Amino acid sequence: MNVRESFREGVNFGLTSGVITTLGLMVGLHSGTHSTAVIIGAIITIAIADALSDALGIHVHEESENVHTADQIWAATLATLLAKLLVVGSFLVPFLTLQLTQAIMVSLVWGGVVLAVLSYRLARAQGKHPGKVIAEHLLIAGLVVSITHAVGNWVGQTFQ
C-alpha cells in the first residue's frame, strides 16, 4: 500500500462513517425532539468529536497492523478527518436553509447519493457489479435510519 492508497482508504472510511452516523443521529433526534437547534448542535458536535475520534481510530488501526510507513498512517488519518468533517458539515446546509422536515428529506437523499456514488466507485475498482454493492450499502444505511427513528420515537414518548 502506498500513501495514495492510504489516503483513499481514509476518504472512503470518513465519507461512509460521516454519512451513516449523521443520518442516524439526525433522524433519531428529529423523531425524538423535532428541534432544528438540537439537530444543528448534534451535527456540529459530530463534525468535531466523531471526526477526530474516527481519525484517531484509523491512525491506531494503521499503526497496529505494523506494515505501514508513517506517511501512509498520516495520510489515512488526515484523509479520514477531512472527509468526515466535509461530509458531516455538508449536512448543515439543509438545516440552515430549509424547514425541518424538508431538511431531513434533503439530507436523506444527499446521504443516499454520497453512499451510492462511493459504492459505485468502490465496486468498479474491485471489478464487482455496482448495483449489488450500492444496494447492500443503502440497505445498511436504511436499517440504521429505521432503527434510530424508532429509538428516537421511543425516547421522545418515554422521557418528555
Q: What are the boundaries of each domain within the chain?
A: 3-158
The DSSP letter of residue 159 is: -
Buried (b) or exposed (e) across 127-156, using 16+ Cβ within 10 A?
A: eeeeeebbeebeeebeebbeebbeebeeeb
pLDDT tens column, 120-148? 999 999 999 999 999 999 999 999 999 99
Q: Does the pLDDT value for residue 160 go beyond 90? A: no
pLDDT tens column, 38-64? 999 999 999 999 999 999 999 999 999
How many angstroms separate the CA atoms of 77 and 9, rounded? 9
pLDDT tens column, 76-88? 999 999 999 999 9
**Res 1: pLDDT:** 76
Q: In the predicted model, what is the mean pLDDT of residues 109-123?
A: 98
* pTM recorded for the entire structure: 0.95
To the nearest whole number, what is the mean pLDDT of the chain? 97
Contact 10/80 with Cβ under 8 angstroms? yes
